[in-house]
């Protein structure tokens, strides 16, 4: 139409019943588009009308890993920015650790657009330094100079610090720009307020929170807590970054662990991240976005990732160099999650649920360990 709505135009163009005589309403001319192959790109699917999305074959392209970004930067971005900023070839070289520092502390993105922008900023400082140099100076940018040139880091990996207190758990989330770490906080208060939820949670995530609380209420005895631990008390669950909407079922295990942690006053392990949907019976169901979530855990320096056992096959999508640096715990029941995440001295056993957890170490000696530390043979 005259307002130029691209979705409406594409809806007509992609209709096989009429695109052999597609009419351009501006030129008032018919075009035969029946043999045209259309390739469309988008940052997110949520803004594409369902009718239009139904006529497309969606191919999702994952974001780059840190290793891939490093290679792209050293082979393409740095040479291009050296040229753009008036430096000679060889001037303004970056050490690998300097590139990694920019990736981790100054950019959080699926691609490399901001990475190139920050490299350009640093190289302009290098050019200024060289211009002021009386004699010849061959300046190499190392990790120390990155902060000098780019200022205070924009991002911090504070998972270990934030989980020092009981009731705070590290979860994993998926966004259109890749995976991200998601913190879940729980607090118990002496009133009859029931369940309080904050953090811009969507309907599905609110249901996950209710399921988590109901499950813990039914298993208080097996947690080593008195049966009246929640009597005349309310539970407040909060997911920080309150300005960002959040939804989906994959925070179920983190919600259960946060409630169990605050009730038992046992802090969650700071080096553990988790994701998975939980049922009222405590079963852990598979979820999506495994590759992106694992990459986020690795980027934040976490060492152990708890995943649904049904998602084991999805680990094949994770680059080998990332798998080799992480330990994966595959679980079927939330009791296994609590044994690992809360580091309990006495393993938690849910009634009628005696399931074994398998901890996969996909690099190194090829052996696995159970959550209790005993070897498990493949």
Model pLDDT for residues 221-268, shown as the tens digit of each residue: 887 888 888 888 899 999 998 888 899 999 999 999 999 999 988 999
More reliable by pLDDT, 324 or 354: 324
pLDDT at 184: 95
On the question of pLDDT at 18 being above 80, the answer is: no
More reliable by pLDDT, 264 or 378: 264
Give the highest mean pLDDT range of 6-15, 184-193, 273-282, 365-374.
Answer: 273-282
pLDDT at 178: 76
Q: In 3-state terms, what secondary structure has residue 31? A: strand
Q: Which domains does the chain have, with CATH numbers?
A: 6-53 (no CATH), 66-150 (1.10.8.60), 159-376 (3.30.230.10)
Confidence label for 358 from pLDDT (cuts 50, 70 and 90): very low
**% of the chain residues with pLDDT over 70:** 86
What is the pTM (predicted TM-score) of this model? 0.76
**% of the chain residues with pLDDT over 90:** 46
Q: Which residues are 277's β-sheet partners?
A: 285
On the question of pLDDT at 198 being above 50, the answer is: yes
At a CB cut-off of 8 Å and minimum separation 6, what does 18 contact? 12
pLDDT at 372: 37
Surface-to-core class of residue 285, CB atoms within 10 Å of its CB (0-12 exposed, 13-18 middle, 19+ buried): middle
pLDDT at 260: 93
**Structure token digits, residue 48:** 């594409």
Confidence label for 371 from pLDDT (cuts 50, 70 and 90): very low
On the question of pLDDT at 356 being above 50, the answer is: no
C-alpha 155/C-alpha 146 separation (Å) is 14
On the question of pLDDT at 287 being above 90, the answer is: yes
Helices (H), 245-357: 252-264, 290-299, 320-323, 334-341
More reliable by pLDDT, 197 or 244: 197
On the question of pLDDT at 189 being above 60, the answer is: yes
pLDDT at 344: 57
Average pLDDT over residues 93-100: 94
Q: Would you say 376 and 368 are in contact if contact means Cβ atoms under 8 Å apart?
A: yes
With left for phi above 0 and alpha for psi between -120 and 50, is residue 358 left, alpha or beta? beta
pLDDT at 311: 96
On the question of pLDDT at 300 being above 90, the answer is: no
C-alpha 251/C-alpha 262 separation (Å) is 17
On the question of pLDDT at 70 being above 80, the answer is: yes
pLDDT at 369: 39
More reliable by pLDDT, 210 or 30: 210
On the question of pLDDT at 362 being above 60, the answer is: no
Q: Which of 306, 234, 296 is nearest to 269 (CA)?
A: 306
Q: What is the pLDDT of residues 310-330, one digit of tens each?
A: 999 999 999 898 899 999 999
Give the highest mean pLDDT range of 18-22, 284-288, 348-352, 369-373.
Answer: 284-288
pLDDT at 349: 57
Active-site positions? 250, 293
pLDDT at 299: 83
Q: What is the pLDDT of residues 101-148, one digit of tens each?
A: 999 899 878 789 999 999 999 999 999 888 887 656 767 899 989 999
pLDDT at 346: 46
**Structure token digits, residue 21:** 């005589």
Average pLDDT over residues 185-208: 90
pLDDT at 88: 86
């Amino acid at each position: 139409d005259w307002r130029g709505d691209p979705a409406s135009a594409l809806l007509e163009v992609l209709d096989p019943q009429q695109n052999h005589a597609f009419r351009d309403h501006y030129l008032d001319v018919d075009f035969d588009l029946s043999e045209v192959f259309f390739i469309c790109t988008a940052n997110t699917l949520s803004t594409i009308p369902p009718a239009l999305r139904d006529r497309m074959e969606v191919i999702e392209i994952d974001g780059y890993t840190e290793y891939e970004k490093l290679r792209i930067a050293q082979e393409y971005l740095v040479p291009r920015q050296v040229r753009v900023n008036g430096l000679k070839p060889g001037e303004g070289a970056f050490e690998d650790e300097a590139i990694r520092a920019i990736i981790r502390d100054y950019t959080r993105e699926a691609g490399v657009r901001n990475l190139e922008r920050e490299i350009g900023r640093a190289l302009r400082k290098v050019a200024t330094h060289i211009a002021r140099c009386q004699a010849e100076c061959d300046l190499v940018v190392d990790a120390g100079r990155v902060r000098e040139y780019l200022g205070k880091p924009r991002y911090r990996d504070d998972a270990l610090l934030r989980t020092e207190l009981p009731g705070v758990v590290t979860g994993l989330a998926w966004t259109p720009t890749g995976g991200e770490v998601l913190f879940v906080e729980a607090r118990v208060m002496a009133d009859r307020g029931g369940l309080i939820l904050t953090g811009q949670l969507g309907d599905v995530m609110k249901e996950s929170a209710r399921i988590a609380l109901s499950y813990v209420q039914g298993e208080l005895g097996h947690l080593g807590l008195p049966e009246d631990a929640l009597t005349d008390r309310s539970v407040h669950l909060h997911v920080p970054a309150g300005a960002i909407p959040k939804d989906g079922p994959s925070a179920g295990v983190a919600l259960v662990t946060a409630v169990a942690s605050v009730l038992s006053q046992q802090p969650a392990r700071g080096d553990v991240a988790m994701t998975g949907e939980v049922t009222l019976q405590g079963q852990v169901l598979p979820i999506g976005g495994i590759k992106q979530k694992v990459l986020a855990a690795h980027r934040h320096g976490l060492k152990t990732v708890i995943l649904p056992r049904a998602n084991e096959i999805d680990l094949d999508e994770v680059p080998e160099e990332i798998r080799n640096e992480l330990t994966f715990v595959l679980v079927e029941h939330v009791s296994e999650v609590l044994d690992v995440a809360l580091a309990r001295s006495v393993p938690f056993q849910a009634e009628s649920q005696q399931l074994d957890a398998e901890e996969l170490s996909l690099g190194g000696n090829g052996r696995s360990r159970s959550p209790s530390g005993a070897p498990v043979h493949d």
